[in-house]
Structure 1
């Protein structure tokens, strides 16, 4: 919790309460406020004596540089020509505009980070899809190879079947030939028997 009170002794002690989780009607994340504080810690601090030309060095002569380079007579006359209230309002306008610009850059950086995160997710999805597609292509190539081998086997079996059909036809023709030869042999045997009987009969008549 943070509280900022009016200076002691004032006519009224106004209190700006920052303990609420709402600001201008919007929810405020105290964790986000803490993260901003942690990130800004180095920028709001001072460094050591390593580099005395650094504006973050604790020995950098800020007032001297401001006086020598940013306090010309023309600028001082311009600043002095307006009253204190005008200068205060001007600084508030500049501060508000810087706040607006700073918030814009912060949101822009966050948006870029989210966009890169989403792009990274899309890249991962694309790589995963490509990997799956590669696996499918490899499986299809394997199936094509198996199919080609099966076609080759079928062609081989067809050739073997044709050869068997030819052998069967040859065997059937040979069976017919053997049957004819058998028939001729039987007829020849019967005729031979008749011839023997005729010879014997002729011998018996002599």
Structure 2
């Protein structure tokens, strides 16, 4: 086992950043899935806007975490950037960069949106957790007559939906189910690499410092 990372603060910082980004992406994805399942149980036709905001927020937060992972693995010291695992991840998650760019430049981008476009925060479409031949699509924001809507495509050849969960913004979309699988595959690779370098990827105990002010009695 190589323990030289102890002398490299950059190595520790990069792997810490990756570890937390992987964990965040997983949490956001599971939160979206859980929330959508709860929507189905509570009655999909009676959704209120305040039920949608946390789900849309978590979906975009997952995109942000995936973008951060892409950035970090391309700069992490001692990590072979030409490895097949990294190259496949970078190549198959290009759409993450497109959505990240969209939301990062939202202030100016609104003026250049096409006449017929999706809601500003996009459209979320998913396949029912209980009925495999049923899908739902959330249209967030203020209803417009010229709104564009994208939903999960149905594969007539295999008689099933081609996607399970997608986030779409105009002509850009991310298959979030596939993205989660790619993130999990990369996590396995990064974890094995970091542990060989002596990094503890487990659920470590962390120190907590308490500062309590005691005011003098009168």
TM-score (structure 1 length as normaliser)? 0.19
Bigger CA radius of gyration: 1
More strand by share: 2
TM-score (structure 2 length as normaliser)? 0.18
